[in-house]
Structures are given as C-alpha cells and as structure tokens.
Structure 1
Amino acid sequence: MPDLLIELFSEEIPARMQARAREDLKKLVTDGLVEAGLTYGGAAAFSTPRRLTLAIEGLTAESAAVREERKGPATTAPDAAIEGFLRSTGLTRDQLDVRDDKKGQVYFAVVTKPGRAAPAIIAEVLEATIRTFPWPKSMRWGSGSLRWVRPLHSILCLLTTEAGAEVVPLDIDGIASDNRTRGHRFLSNGDLSVSSFDDYAVKLKRAHVILDPAEREARIWADATNMAFAAGLELVEDKALLSEVAGLVEWPVVLMGRIGEDFLHLPPEVLQTSMREHQKFFSVRNPKTGRIEGFVTVANTETADHGATILKGNQKVLSARLSDARFFWENDLREAKGGMGKWLDGLKSVTFHNKLGSQAERIERIAALAREIAPLVGADAAQAERAARLAKADLRSGMVGEFPELQGTMGRYYTLEAGEAPEVANAARDHYSPLGPSDAVPSVPVSVAVALADKIDTLTGFWAIDEKPTGSKDPFALRRAALGVIRLVLGNSIRAGLSSVVDGHRERVANSSAGGAMADRADLLSFFHDRLKVFLKDQGIRHDVIDGCLAMPGNDDLTLLVKRAEALAAFLKTDDGENLLQGFKRANNILTQAEAKDGVEYSYGADVKFAETAEERALFAALDAAEAAIAPAMKAEDFGQAMSAIARLRAPIDAFFTAVQVNSDNPVVRRNRLNLLSRIRTVCLSVADLTKLEG
C-alpha cells in the first residue's frame, strides 16, 4: 500500500503556531482522504520553523466503487417528472429498474460510481486544505489570492510504493508540487530530491535540519544540562520556553554565557523573567547559592568560532536589558523602604471595574473580609488585614509595570524591604494562588485568608453587577477564581459555610462605590457546586454522587460535602452499596406509586406486631439497629461508619422483597408494609439523597 509524504515549505512560521498547525494539517488531510473513500494505517505530523510535514502510511491506492440506489417517481407519473429524474441520474428510461411499492410500481435508478485513484483524491484534498487552512493570522503576497501564515514557497507531495515514487500533480497559484525540499537556510546548499519519508528525514538531517520538534527539544535540553553541569551549575527547567525555542531553530546549537557581576544581586525571578521574555534565554542557577548566574541561548547555526561572536552579541544585549531591570529594582526598593505609601495612593486612580470601583476601594473590601476569614483558618486577624492592604501595592511598581507576571512575587520582596513580618510578605506573593490546576495551594494561615478574601471579593463583586460566565466566555476568570476557593478550602480542610461568608461580604460590595445590586447567594453557591463537580470528576467522583450529597444540609461547607461524597462514592463501589441502592429504589418506587394512588403519605405507624413473616421481623430489627448506629455516626461526621451501618440493611431488604408481597390483600398488613418501606426510605435518605443516583 502506498505511503504519502507532504511538505509545505514557507518563510518562518511563528513558534507559537506550530503545534496547532501540525494537528490541523493532520486532521484536515486525513479526514478529507477518509471522506473521499481512502483508508490509511497511520499518520504523523512534524514541523520546523520553515515547514509543515505530514507522513501517512498504508494509504489505499484507490477508493472503492460505490453503488447508489435512488427511488424515483411512479411508473404512472407524468413524463415531465420522469424526464427530470432521468436528467438527475444521467440514465435513460430503459436503464431504470421497476419495483413494487405500497402504492404501485415505481422507478429506481441504480448508479455505480467507479473508484478513484489516490493521486486525484490527494490533490483535491491537499488543495482544499491549503486554501482553507485555519491559521490564527495569515497573509497574501505578490499578486496571488492564496493566503498562508508566511509566503509559501514549495509543495512536496510524494506517493511511494514498492515500484517507486511518484509526484502527485498539484498546482496552487503557480506553486507546482514536486519531490524536492530544502535543507538549513545557512548550513546547506541547493535543493534535495527525496523518494520516501525515510529518505526525506535522513537527507534533511544531513542538511542540518532536525524534522521532529520533540527531537529538537531533547537535544536542546540534553546539551544545555550537560553544559551547565560541566560548569558546576544547573539549568532551570522551563518547559514552555523549551517548546518555544525548539520552534525557532532547525539545527539547535546550545551556547552558555555568564551574567555580569553587576546584576547578580537582582532577584532570581527578575533575571529569569527578563531573559525568558526578552531574549528566550534559559536561566542557569548556582545550586550552592540559589542565584541565577548564567544563561543558555540556542543558536540556529554553527560558526567557525564555535558561537563566540553570537554569544558576545547576546551578552551585550542582555546587559542592556538587565540594566533596565536593575533600574526598576533599585527605584522600587527606595519606594518600598518608605512604606509603599505612594504606590497605595496611586491605586486610588487605578480602576478595577467601572461598576466595582478602584483597586484601592477593592483593597478595603478584601482587607475587611480577610480579617473576618482569619479565625476560620487559624490566622492572626491583624496580620491578615495588614497583608491584604499591602498585597497589591506592587501593581504600581516599576518592575511589575515592565513584567506583569511578577506581580505578587515582587510584592513579597518589597513588603519585606518595608519591614513587615514574613507572614505578611508571603501573603503578598501567595494571594493570587492557586491560578492553574498545577499550582501549589497556600497553606500558611495568613496567606490562605488573603487568598480566599481576594477570590471571594472577585466572585461576589461580579455576581453583584451580573457579570457571570456564559457558555465558553469567562472574561473575568470567575471559573478559575471559584476553583481557587475550592482548592484553598479543601487543601486546608477549612470548616466554614460559604453562604455566611458571602452574605457578610455582599453588603460591603453593595455599599462600595459599585452601589446597587446585591449578589445572589444561592446562584453563587450553585456556581461553586458546579465547579466542585468538575474538580471532583477528575478525582473519579461522579456528578450524581455529588448531587446526592448536595441535597443534604450543610452543602455550603465544602469540606463536609466532599467528605460525605467520598464516603458515598466508596460505598457505591462495593457490592453491598450497589445492591442496597437497587433495594432502596425498589422500595421508593413502590412507596411513591402507592402514595400517588391512595392519596396519602405512608410515613408513620409501621409496627412489628403486624409482621407476618420472619423476613419482615428481621427487617424491623435491622432498621432499628441501623438507626441507632447511623445517628451518632452522622453527628460525628463519620460518614464511612454511617455507610457501613446502612450497608448492613442490604441482606434484610433483599430477603424482605423475596419473601413478601407488599400490596397484600389485607389492608392493615399492606399499610404496615408501606410504612415499613417509608422507614427504609427515611433511613437511607439520612446519609444522602439516593434518589439523585443513577442506576
């Protein structure tokens, strides 16, 4: 079966677009081929700064013939209708089949479409792919109409079989397909003719092009770590930068330099951020001191002087960049030593949201809320309030103005410089956390109090002005804020009702410069519950299990809620749990139907003296024992023990339904048994709302 090789060669593709482009090329081409009737064994996409490549193995040589039947008009239909049908099928009347139908005989057209050769299909699919490729940004060049991310120079399209290789003919705006590619821009000469994917990859490597971005990443990382180790240093891991740099070079050449002594006193985060953002340099750390003392740059070429000239030029530019960072740092330190008053005053003129006031007004709300939350998390209330008032001061600093991603990080340095307690300074750094799912959750009480206050103020405020997430749109990152609250609460086992916290704070929001509306507590709590479901789903707890626990009292205590859900989820994974659930549902269904039919509620009066069978009496005894065990377990929040107690009802309930007919002809016995089912329902619902569970 043939193998297909496609290369789209252009000017430099932005590194940030390459990964998505690889996947788009693979999907568009393979989907198009399959839709046209071809199948394939496997496909892999690659990219370098100047090319997108797709290799497909085991492609069928042609599409299968297709037999299509179309029902036409009745044989008695007017000639005009029949002639129209003939024109649409391309057949003559004597080529039609006549078949019996419910209302008489009708014409059927049987059209057989022969299979098509793979090259014709490939050409159509590839042209459509190129012309409709979903680049985030694209351009036109010259006088043509074709759009591509950068000017497209050549198209390699090769079909290889055991008999040899053939170029798939294709011409798009004057760019004709062939079997030729080009190597490295500086380290190779001339075009390369290729005959297969293996031949292509080998010849590219000889021409100083590593096709696979994963291989380029591995080479960069290995060379950089080895170079740092040889100098007694260590490379600072940065996966995002590694991926980006691998998209900037076709032939990575790693070079390492030293940072000037004048800059070594700068915080490591400043050095790392400046080098990463401005020059795409990796940071190199001294493991003995923790200082960033060197950098690694990745060139795209080899030089006779082994990169000395490149390194010299990079160090010159780096010195200029770090001089700017040093200027910001030294100016900021002078302001920090003075107490940061100028920065705090400056936040009065910084609008947080036109309906929620300035950053300074927001800080007042957060400080008051942090003081209230402090006792709930074991923090000193005065420290929590002080930390909240200073946590955002660095937003007015020069360094954060240059590198916004350092907000909080610089706040810690400046707050320490101002002579504040370490707990206060650490809260400035930690109060934005956790941002992403992989971020660590703050655990120091003062940091936890301020982080919670910051996020709850955000949520309460935007709920108050009716700016809630809709569909996929969440411009104020409220889903992230809610997940941050959930992780802070669960990660620190905080026992508090969110409703009371929100109730107290929504008054502040309403009385602030925002004025007007009050946050809808129930709606906001529901939003937290939805985010909690998403969070727990990743931990293997089903949505219906959460729903069963949400229906119970105290559902705004997230720690209690999750504790109950984990116990219920574990219980349902056992045979007793699954079978008891079925027994409960059977009892509930019979009881519900009887109550609807009789117009009464069977919820009182089950008496063992009316029991007629040993199974009934055994169920009475089991329910007595379960109630006696469940009540203290629930009071102690020992949900595992409560689930164990309810699990012991499985066998008596099964035996009851096997031996007893609930709807007895004796009305007294029937009523007693229905009231007994009501006891089953009441006992089971005391641990969770099992009616919410599926199955």
Structure 2
Amino acid sequence: MPDLLIELFSEEIPARMQAKAADDLRRLVTDGLVEAGLTYRGATAHATPRRLALAVEGLTDRSPTTVEERRGPKVGAPDKAVEGFLRGAGITRDQLETASDKKGEHYVARITREGREAPAIVAEVLEAAVRGFPWPKSMRWGDGTLRWVRPLRRILCILSNEEGATVVPLDIDGIEAGDVTEGHRFMAPGPIRVSGFDDYAAKLRRAHVILDAEERMEIIGQEARNRAFAAGLELVEDEGLLREVAGLVEWPVVLMGRIEERFLALPPEVLRTSMKEHQKFFSVRDGEGRIVRFITVANRETADDGATILAGNGRVLAARLADALFFWENDLAVAKAGMGAWLEKLRSVTFHAKLGSQAERIERIAALAREIAPAVGADPAQAERAARLAKADLSSEMVYEFPELQGLMGRRYAEAAGEAPEVAAAAQEHYQPLGPSDDVPTSPVSVAVALADKIDTLAGFWAIDEKPTGSKDPYALRRAALGVIRLVLENGLAFPLWGPMRTAFTAHGVRPPNPDDPDDYSGMAEPIELEGFLRGFLHDRLKVHLKNENIRHDVIDAVLTGERTDDLADLVGRARALNDVLATEDGGNLVQGYKRAKNILTQAEAQDGVEYSYGGEPKLAETDEERALFAALDAAGPRIDAALGSEDYPAAMAELARLRAPIDAFFEAVQVNSDNAVVRRNRLNMLSTIVRTCERIAALDRLA
C-alpha cells in the first residue's frame, strides 16, 4: 500500500489563512479519495508561509470493481421511458435484464464500474481540490485561469512504497506535478528532490524549513522566554500573536531589541498594542510592569546575528512610537482640560441612524445609570458622572488610531483629569463582559454604567425592530443580553429589570405596555411587548448561560412563571434549588404527586365550572392518610414562607420534598372523587393547596 505526498508550493500565504487551508486540503483530498473507492490509514496536513503539504499513509493502490443493480421501468413501459432509463444507466437495450417482484416484472440494469489505479484517481481528486479550493480571497496571474491565494509555483505529488517513488501524472494550467520542492527562500533556495514524507520533512529541515506550525510556535515561544529571562525580564505572553508570527516564518530566528527611553513614558498598553498591530513584535516587561524591550522573529539567520535586522526594526518602531507619543501628549492635554472637547465632538458622531448620536446615547445611559445606582450599591452622582465620561475617549487621537484601546485609554485619561478612581475605572470596565470568558466588573459604579449601557442598547434596537434573526446578530445584542445576565448573577444583585427597561424604552420614545395590563398599547409609537422581550430573549440567553451548570432547560421553563421573572438572581436561585432536588428520589416523586394533583384538580374544575382554591378543612378528613397530609401541609406552610421570604430556595425545596411521603400515601389510600359531595369538595380544595404550595417555587407541570 503506497503513501501519498502532496505539496502545493506558492508565494506567501497569509498567516491567518494557513491553518484552515491545511485542514481544507486534507478534507478535500481524503474525501475525494474515499468517494472514488480508495481507503487510507491516516492523513496529516501542514502549512508554512509558502506551502501546503499533505501526507496520506497506507493508501490502497486501486479502487475495487463494483456492480450496481439499478431498477428500471415495468416491462412493457413506453419506449421513451425505457430509453431515458438506458441513457441514465449508460447501457444499451440488449444489456437490460428483467426481474419480478410483487409489483410485477420490471427491467434491471447491472452497471459494472471497473476499478481504477490510484495515480489516476489521485490526479483527478487533486485537480478538483486545487481548482475548487475555498480560499477566502484568491487571485489569477499570468494568462492562466487558475485561481489561488497567491501565485502557485510548483506541485509535488508522489506515491511511494518500498520500491521507490512515482510521480503522479498531473498538469494544472501548465504546472506539471513532480517530485521536487524548494527550501528556504534565502538560505536554501535551490530545488530539492524527495522520495516520501520522511525524506521530504528531513530535507526541508536541512534546507532551513520547519514544516510543522506547532513546532515553530514552540521554538519561538521558548526562545523568546529564554532571551527575556536572561535579561532579567519577562515575556508578555500572547497566544494569538505567537500563532500569527509562526505563520510568517519558515525558519524562526528570535531577536530582542531595546525601546528608546523617550517612549517608556507611554502607557504599557499603548506600547504593546502599537508593537503588536504594526510590527508583530512581542513585548518584554520589567519587574515594575513597564514595557522596556521588544522581541521580533526574523525568517533567516545572518552573519551579524541579526544586528542589521534589529537596527532596521528599531528605526521603524521608533517612527511608530513617535506617532503614539504625539497622540498621547495631545490627548493628555484635552483630558486635563476636562474632556469637554471630546464630548462635544461626539454630538456629530452617529451611533445609529435611527438611534441618534453618541452624545444622545450618553445622555440616556447617564440617566439610566443614575436610576440603577441605588440597586447595585453605587453613588448615583458618581454613576452618572462615570457614564458621561465613559465614552469620551472615542474622540481621542489614540483611540482613533488604535480602536482596540477604547475604554482602557478612557481610564487613563480620566485618571489624568483627576476623576475619582471609581469613575475612571468605569470608563474601562463598563464594556465588560465582552464574552463568556471575560471578567465581570464588581465595582458598583462600573456595574451601574455597564448595565445602563447594555440595557440602553437592547431597548434601543428592539425599539427600532432590529432584533437578531437566526445566526445574524450585527449589533451583538445576544452578547449584550448575556452581559446583563452575568453582571446581575455574578454580583449577586436582587435587580428586577422591568423598571430600567421601561425607562430605556421611554427614553427611546416608546412607552412600554402597562405591566398590569399587557394588552394596553395606547399611546405607543409601536406595540412592543417588553414582557415578551424579557422572557423570550433574556431568558433564552439565560438558558444558554446556565447550560454550563447542567441546569435543565425545562427547569428554567418551570421557574419562568408567576411574579419576579425579571429578577434574574431570584429566578436562577429557584432554578438551582429545583434542579438539585429533582436529582433526588423525593424530588422526582414529588413532581409526580404534584402533576397528579394538578390533573385531577384541572379536570374537576372544568367539569364543575368552579375554582377549588379555598383550602380544605382538616375536620372533614375521613382517613388517617388524609389527616396526615393536612398536618404535613399545615406544618410545611410557615417553614416554606420563611424560606421564601429569605430567598433560601434550597430550604424551601427541601420542605416541599418532605411532602412527598404524605402525598404518596394519600393517593394510594384515598379516592379524591368521593360519592359524598362535601368530602369530594374538601379533598379538591386540599389538592389546590398542594398545587399552590409547589407553584410558589415553580410550575412543576412544565417539567419534562
């Protein structure tokens, strides 16, 4: 069984595309081989800046001969039907056979497909893969029709076994396959003939090409750490940058240079961002956290050990940092003057065509933050001040140059302006959390501004009917909703959302429905159901968030009833307690008892046309089991009241679970629908007590 080696050698492939391209090559080729009837033992793909490589081990040398039996029309069918069947099967009339089944006699075509040799199949599959390769962007060059991410220069395609290697006959737009590759562009540019993957990888290494991207990453990371450590410094780890730089070099050479003293006054974040975005440099810090050195990765060794490369990089870096220093100094002057000029600029910056300017948005957020502040333990005046300044840095020169520094620079500028630490921190922290793994702010002022920002966003886009649809969420509203959820839950806030949401909708010119009358839409610009928004959107996001806690979706549905469904902390407390008790035998049986009681009660109320909701009378009980259940309900009531009053939902659920035994005993011994009308009514009223007691925690009938 031969091994297959493919290399597609081109001009430099963008680093961000390499990993996916290697996976795509493996998928396209192996899927094509299998579809054509070949099998293989394993396949690995690699990418460097100038090549995609695929090694397929244990490939069968020929596809099997197959016979397909295809059912045709009935014997005696019109000639046109038969002729169409013959054309589709690729046979002649004299090759038709007949067969019979319970539907009668019909024609059968037996189509034999002869097996093919592996080289022919490989050539066909590889050409299809190359011509249909899913590059995000591709180009044509010269006079050919072939498209590739960059001009394709060579195709290496060989099948090898113990007897040697054979080139697969293949020509794509004048590029003929061979057994030749090339080494490093500068250090070993000549052609290299190979006979298999092991030979290929070894010769490339000798030609200063490390084929494996993970190995290049390991070399760069380890050498960078070693150089920083040797200088008594520390490398600032950056996994994303490391992966990107490994895609820029075939032979990584790590060099460390100095940053000019005049630039050390820049905030470390500015230095790091400028070096990373413009130069792909790693940052090195001292014991005080200052960025004092940079690490660059060259693609070649030089006679002067990289001195010339470092000198050139240093000059380019100095020019970039000079710009950053200029921005920083200009911005500091504006910040120390109170940032009024920046806030004025935001009046002419559109947030959204239908939602006004950034300045108008800031006014809404400031008012909302002031309203939210008492509920989260923040000073209202500080929360309002923080909200007014939180987005001022959007007008700064530094953030215009480096948008990813928004918020962080706002904090720096607020500190320079002499604002309170809580106000300055909110400028950075109010954007958080940006994702499921991002930290949640805990400072009350930051929490107030963050909630106000996200609630204004949600209400605003709902008001203009720009809700997420399917997988599309251009305004990151799902992220905003998840941010609200995490801010509330992770800070343990008893924070009903209805009031702030109503304020936010009103600020956008839309009066939400009266919470006491969901059908009241009079005076509204549009009939927006805020209750539906809370339950439909926020609660869906809540289900996603709680999935990591292994809380069942039907448990969330069960607690989304009754009052306080906009108090997320309360809702989640009930969900966690219910989820835990359902994992016990008592909990599961309690649910069954509740559902039985609910069903009997519902049927009786429908039949009698009355509501049984007054509670039963113990003196009318006829059996010991009936009296025991009355006693259990009477004893559990005050304890459940106390637990619910203190929001101790585990204790409340424990009390409910204790009712399991008397409820079970009651249903085993007592017939609810007694012939005695008084006894029947009393028992139905007792069932209503069971149902109402359970539903104070959740609607248990919603559980699967």
Q: Under TM normalisation by the shorter chain, which class is it?
A: over 0.9
Matches for 1:12-161 after TM superposition, within 5 Å: 12-79=12-79, 81-89=81-89, 90=91, 92-93=93-94, 95-102=96-103, 104-161=104-161
Matches for 1:148-187 after TM superposition, within 5 Å: 148-187=148-187
Question: What corresponds to 1:257 in structure 2?
Answer: 257
Question: What corresponds to 1:201 in structure 2?
Answer: 201
Residue 164 of structure 1, CA deviation? 4.1
- In 2: Cα distance, 1:275 partner to 1:355 partner: 38
Q: Does 1:524 align with 2:523?
A: no
Amino acid corresponding to residue 586 of structure 2 in structure 1: D
Amino acid corresponding to residue 147 of structure 1 in structure 2: R
Q: Quick check: 482-491 or 55-64, which moved more?
A: 55-64
- In 1: Cα distance, 2:146 partner to 2:296 partner: 36
Question: What corresponds to 2:507 in structure 1?
Answer: 508
Choose the corresponding residue for 2:545, options 526, 532, 535.
535
- Tell me if the contact between 2:460 and 2:504 (Cα under 8 Å) persists in the aligned partners: no
Choose the corresponding residue for 1:630, options 636, 640, 650.
640
Question: What corresponds to 2:334 in structure 1?
Answer: 335
- Tell me if the contact between 2:224 and 2:295 (Cα under 8 Å) persists in the aligned partners: yes
- In 1: Cα distance, 2:331 partner to 2:229 partner: 35
- In 1: Cα distance, 2:673 partner to 2:168 partner: 77
Q: Does 1:681 align with 2:682?
A: no
Distance 1:518 1:73, change over 3 A: closer
Question: What corresponds to 1:491 in structure 2?
Answer: 490
- In 2: Cα distance, 1:40 partner to 1:477 partner: 44
- In 1: Cα distance, 2:116 partner to 2:693 partner: 69
Residue 241 of structure 1, CA deviation? 0.9
- In 2: Cα distance, 1:304 partner to 1:373 partner: 65
Residue 68 of structure 1, CA deviation? 2.8
Residue 58 of structure 1, CA deviation? 3.8
Distance 1:587 1:230, change over 3 A: same
Q: Could you say what secondary structure the match of 1:438 adopts?
A: coil
Structure 2: where are the runs of 5+ without partners? 512-523
Question: What corresponds to 1:554 in structure 2?
Answer: 564
Amino acid corresponding to residue 639 of structure 2 in structure 1: A
Residue 601 of structure 1, CA deviation? 5.4
- Tell me if the contact between 1:6 and 1:54 (Cα under 8 Å) persists in the aligned partners: yes
Q: Indicate the percent of aligned positions where both proteins have the same amino acid.
A: 68
- Tell me if the contact between 1:3 and 1:59 (Cα under 8 Å) persists in the aligned partners: yes
Structure 1, residues 194-245: CA drift from partner, whole Å, max 9, x if none?
A: 2332222222212111111111111111000100000011011111111111
Residue 14 of structure 1, CA deviation? 0.7
Q: Could you say what secondary structure the match of 1:251 adopts?
A: coil
Question: What corresponds to 2:521 in structure 1?
Answer: none
Residue 381 of structure 1, CA deviation? 1.3
Aligned residues, how many?
A: 690
Q: Could you say what secondary structure the match of 2:319 adopts?
A: helix
Question: What corresponds to 1:424 in structure 2?
Answer: 423
- Tell me if the contact between 1:461 and 1:509 (Cα under 8 Å) persists in the aligned partners: yes
Distance 1:179 1:499, change over 3 A: same
- In 2: Cα distance, 1:685 partner to 1:558 partner: 18
Question: What corresponds to 1:270 in structure 2?
Answer: 270
TM-score (norm 1): 0.92
- In 2: Cα distance, 1:164 partner to 1:297 partner: 42
Matches for 1:657-676 after TM superposition, within 5 Å: none
Choose the corresponding residue for 1:644, options 644, 654, 657.
654
Distance 1:484 1:664, change over 3 A: same
Structure 1, residues 291-336: CA drift from partner, whole Å, max 9, x if none?
A: 1100000000000111000000000111111111111111111122
- In 1: Cα distance, 2:28 partner to 2:610 partner: 63
Q: Quick check: 365-374 or 112-121, which moved more?
A: 112-121
- Tell me if the contact between 2:98 and 2:105 (Cα under 8 Å) persists in the aligned partners: no
Q: Does 1:570 align with 2:580?
A: yes
- In 2: Cα distance, 1:51 partner to 1:505 partner: 54
Q: Could you say what secondary structure the match of 1:538 adopts?
A: helix
Residue 626 of structure 1, CA deviation? 3.8
Structure 1, residues 262-309: CA drift from partner, whole Å, max 9, x if none?
A: 11111111111111111011111001x211100000000000111000
Residue 142 of structure 1, CA deviation? 1.0
Amino acid corresponding to residue 180 of structure 1 in structure 2: V
Structure 1, residues 59-106: CA drift from partner, whole Å, max 9, x if none?
A: 44444444433222223434554454344431545751321323x322
- Tell me if the contact between 1:506 and 1:519 (Cα under 8 Å) persists in the aligned partners: no
- Tell me if the contact between 1:458 and 1:481 (Cα under 8 Å) persists in the aligned partners: yes
- Tell me if the contact between 1:509 and 1:518 (Cα under 8 Å) persists in the aligned partners: no
Question: What corresponds to 2:516 in structure 1?
Answer: none
Q: Does 1:449 align with 2:459?
A: no
Structure 1, residues 411-456: CA drift from partner, whole Å, max 9, x if none?
A: 1121122121111111112121111222211111111111111221
Distance 1:679 1:41, change over 3 A: farther
Amino acid corresponding to residue 522 of structure 1 in structure 2: E
Q: Could you say what secondary structure the match of 1:688 adopts?
A: coil
- Tell me if the contact between 2:362 and 2:388 (Cα under 8 Å) persists in the aligned partners: yes
Question: What corresponds to 2:312 in structure 1?
Answer: 313
Residue 678 of structure 1, CA deviation? 4.4
Residue 517 of structure 1, CA deviation? 5.5
- Tell me if the contact between 1:545 and 1:569 (Cα under 8 Å) persists in the aligned partners: yes
- Tell me if the contact between 2:235 and 2:283 (Cα under 8 Å) persists in the aligned partners: yes
- In 2: Cα distance, 1:128 partner to 1:657 partner: 70
- In 2: Cα distance, 1:564 partner to 1:527 partner: 19
Residue 26 of structure 1, CA deviation? 2.5
Distance 1:37 1:594, change over 3 A: farther
Residue 370 of structure 1, CA deviation? 1.2
- In 1: Cα distance, 2:598 partner to 2:110 partner: 58
Structure 1: where are the runs of 5+ without partners? none
Amino acid corresponding to residue 481 of structure 2 in structure 1: A
- Tell me if the contact between 1:86 and 1:93 (Cα under 8 Å) persists in the aligned partners: no
Distance 1:684 1:4, change over 3 A: farther
CA RMSD of aligned residues (A): 2.7
Amino acid corresponding to residue 178 of structure 2 in structure 1: D
Question: What corresponds to 2:244 in structure 1?
Answer: 244
Question: What corresponds to 1:386 in structure 2?
Answer: 385
Amino acid corresponding to residue 401 of structure 1 in structure 2: Y
- In 2: Cα distance, 1:110 partner to 1:674 partner: 72
- In 1: Cα distance, 2:566 partner to 2:271 partner: 44
- Tell me if the contact between 1:507 and 1:518 (Cα under 8 Å) persists in the aligned partners: no
Distance 1:66 1:324, change over 3 A: same
Q: Could you say what secondary structure the match of 1:53 adopts?
A: strand
Question: What corresponds to 1:300 in structure 2?
Answer: 299
- Tell me if the contact between 1:73 and 1:82 (Cα under 8 Å) persists in the aligned partners: yes
Distance 1:560 1:160, change over 3 A: farther
- In 1: Cα distance, 2:200 partner to 2:160 partner: 12
- In 2: Cα distance, 1:656 partner to 1:197 partner: 76
- In 1: Cα distance, 2:166 partner to 2:504 partner: 72
Question: What corresponds to 1:279 in structure 2?
Answer: 279
- In 2: Cα distance, 1:580 partner to 1:597 partner: 26
